[in-house]
A and B are shown apart, each in its own frame.
Chain A
Amino acid sequence: MIVTAALCPGPPLLIGELTGAASVAEDLRSACTDAVGELIAAEPEAIVVVGAAEQTEGWPEAGPLDLAVFAPGPAGPSQAGIKAAANRPTSLGVGGWLLTACGYRGPQILQAVGAAEPADRCARLGAALAKAAGRQALLVVADGSARRTLKAPGYLDERSAGFDESVERCFRTGRLDDLLGLDPALAAELMAAGRPAWQVLAGALAGRAVSSEIRYQGDPFGVAYLVASLRLDPVGTDDGGSGNV
C-alpha cells in the first residue's frame, strides 16, 4: 500500500558533483530534498522509484548511477568500483541518488517505464505497484517539456507552456486522473519525458484522495521542473488494499 508520494524532476544537475565548483539551482535542490525527506519521514518499509526510460523493466537496487557517464575525468566525481551499474536509466539513477543523499538506507524498488508506453499500460503498471504488500512510499521522477525557451535543450515550442500548465494543474488540484488524458504523441514532441511516469503515478493513486503541496515550479534551464509532495488519506482497508475502494 502506498502511504505517501512525491514528484521530483530528474536532471543530472541535481547531483552537486556534476555541476562543478559553482552551486547550481539551490532552490530546486532543496525542494527535492524536502520532498524526499518527507517520504523518508513516513518511515516506509520500501521506497518505490518510478522513472521513464527506454523500456519498461525493473532495475536491481544494487549499484548506483555511475556519474562518470556524465562527468568523465580525474576532476569528475570519484566513485571507485561503481562502473557495473552504468546502464541504469538516468531518471532512476537520479531518483536513487536523491534517496541516498537524503540519508535513506532502506530498500528501493526501481521501476522504469518505457517512453512509448500508452496511458492505459502506465496506469496498470501503477495499479500493480500499489498492490504490493507493506507500507510503501512512491518517488516519481519526471520532467516536463524540454522545449520551454529558445535556449532550451529542444529549442522553443510554443505549446510547451500550456502543456506543462495542464500537468501542474493536475498536481495542484490533486486530480491525478487527468494525467491519464495527456497525449503521448504531443508529450514526445515537446520532449516531456515524464509523461509515462506521471501516468504510472495516476494509476498507482487511482481513487485515493490526494492533497498536494507544490514545492517548486520553474524552468531555469528551459526544462519544466515540478516538485510536489502528495499526501494521501489512509485507505480504509488493511494492508494489501487495492487503493481503489
Chain B
Amino acid sequence: MREGGRASEAAAVPQSDLILGGRRFPPGRLLVMAIVNRTPDSFYRPGLTWDESAAMERVHEVVTEGADIVDIGGVPAAPGADVTVAEEIDRTASFIGRVRAAYPQVAISVDTWRHEVARQACAAGADLINDSWGGWDDELPATAAAAGAGLVCAHAGGQRPRTRPHRVRYDDVMADVLRHTQLLAGRAAEAGVPRASIVIDAAHDFGKNTWHSLEITRRLGEMTASGWPVLVSVSNKDFVGETLDVPLAGRLAGTLATTTICAWLGARIFRAHHVLQTRQALDMVSAIRGDAPPARAVRALA
C-alpha cells in the first residue's frame, strides 16, 4: 500500500550484498531457490523427487533452468506421519553431499526447523538453513553460526511445526511479521551468524489465512525497508489457489504474478517449483527496473 510504503521508505535501510557459501550476491540480483523435496508425500507433485536418483535428476534440471540456490527438504509442511530426526537426516544430509560435489558453485539450503538436521546438512555442504517455522528450535542460530551458514528467519505466527492455521487473527499481520522476523534476525546476528547471510521471510500461509498472505504481499516493502534480504515462498500456495479458485495444478500464473509484485517491492530470493518460468519473470522485473539490460534488443534499431 502506498501509505505504508511511504512511511517505511523514509526510514528504509539500504540493502547490502548477500553472502551464501562464500558467493556474494549484490542487492539487484534476484535469486531463484529451487525446491527439491526428499519426501514421499510433498505438497506439490507428491513423491516426484523421493527417490534419490530422481532427486538428483531434478537438481540437474533446475540448475540448467537457472536456479541459484537448491533448497532440499525432508519433511513436508503439512501434518502427517511423523518424520524422526534420524529419518530427516537420512533423507537430506547425504543427498546434500552429492549435490555439493556435483555443483560446487550452486548455493544449497536445507529446509528444516531442527538444529540436529541443520548441523548434519551443513557438514555435508549446505550454505543456508531455511527455517520456515519461525524459530521453533532455539539452538538453530548457534548451529548456523558454528557451521558458518546463513539462516532464514521466518514468521509462522507461533504455529508449532507441521500444524495448520485455524481461525488465526492479527491486529496487524505485517507488524507482527516485522517484529518477529527482526527479533529472530537480531538473535541470529548475536549468536554469530554473519549479518550478510541472514535472510527474513514473511512465510506466506504459515500461520496466516489468504487475506493475511495477500496483505503481507501488498506490504512487502515494509520488510525490504528493514535492510535484511527478503525471501518469499509463494509457489503454488493455497492463498493463490483461494484467490483464483484454482486447484494445485492451476496456480502458475498466480504464483508468477505474486512473484513479480514481491520482486518489484524488493524481495531478493524466490523459492519456486517452476524454476524456468520464475527465472524469466524475475529477469523481466530486473529489465523493467533497469538493473539488467534486455538479452537482445535489435527491433527498430536496425
B-binding residues in A (CB < 8 A): 11-12, 18, 20, 22, 66, 69-76, 86, 90, 146, 152-155, 191
Contact = CB atoms under 8 A, between A and B. Distances in A.
Interface of B: 1, 79-80, 163-173, 209-212, 214-215, 218, 242-243, 245
Given A22-B245, A86-B171, A71 B211 contact: yes
Nearest to B174: A72
B171 A69 contact: yes
Contacts of B209: 70-71
A20 B214 contact: no
Contact of B166 (A71, A73, A153): A153
Interface SS, A side: loop
A146 B210 CA distance: 19
A8 B168 CA distance: 20
Contacts of A11: 167
Contacts of A152: 164
Given A70-B209, A74-B1, A86-B171, A154 B218 contact: no
Given A20-B242, A155-B80, A72 B215 contact: yes
A18, A69, A76 — most chain B CB neighbours (10 Å): A69
A153 B211 contact: no
7 contacts: A20-B242, A22-B245, A70-B209, A71-B211, A72-B173, A153-B165, A155-B164
Contacts of A146: 166
A114 to B, nearest CB: 17
Q: Which 4 A-B pairs have the closest CB atoms?
A: A153-B166, A155-B79, A69-B169, A71-B211
B172 A72 contact: yes
A76 B164 contact: no
Contacts of A155: 79-80, 163-164
B211 A72 contact: yes
Contacts of A90: 167, 169
Nearest to B210: A20
A18 B209 CA distance: 10
A174 to B, nearest CB: 30
A124 B251 CA distance: 52
A152 B78 CA distance: 11
B223 to A, nearest CB: 15
Contacts of A76: 211
A72 B176 CA distance: 13
B214 A73 contact: yes
Given A20-B210, A73-B218, A153-B164, 9 more contacts: A18-B211, A72-B170, A72-B173, A72-B211, A72-B212, A72-B215, A90-B169, A154-B79, A154-B164
A69 B167 CA distance: 10
A154 B166 contact: yes
A208 B166 CA distance: 35
- Indicate the member of A71, A73, A90, A191 with the most B CB atoms within 10 Å: A73
A70 to B, nearest CB: 6
B211 A70 contact: yes
A22 B242 CA distance: 10
A72 B172 CA distance: 8
Contacts of B167: 11-12, 70, 90, 153
B104 to A, nearest CB: 40
Contacts of A12: 167
Contacts of B210: 20
A197 B266 CA distance: 47
A24 to B, nearest CB: 11
B2 to A, nearest CB: 11
A22 B245 CA distance: 9
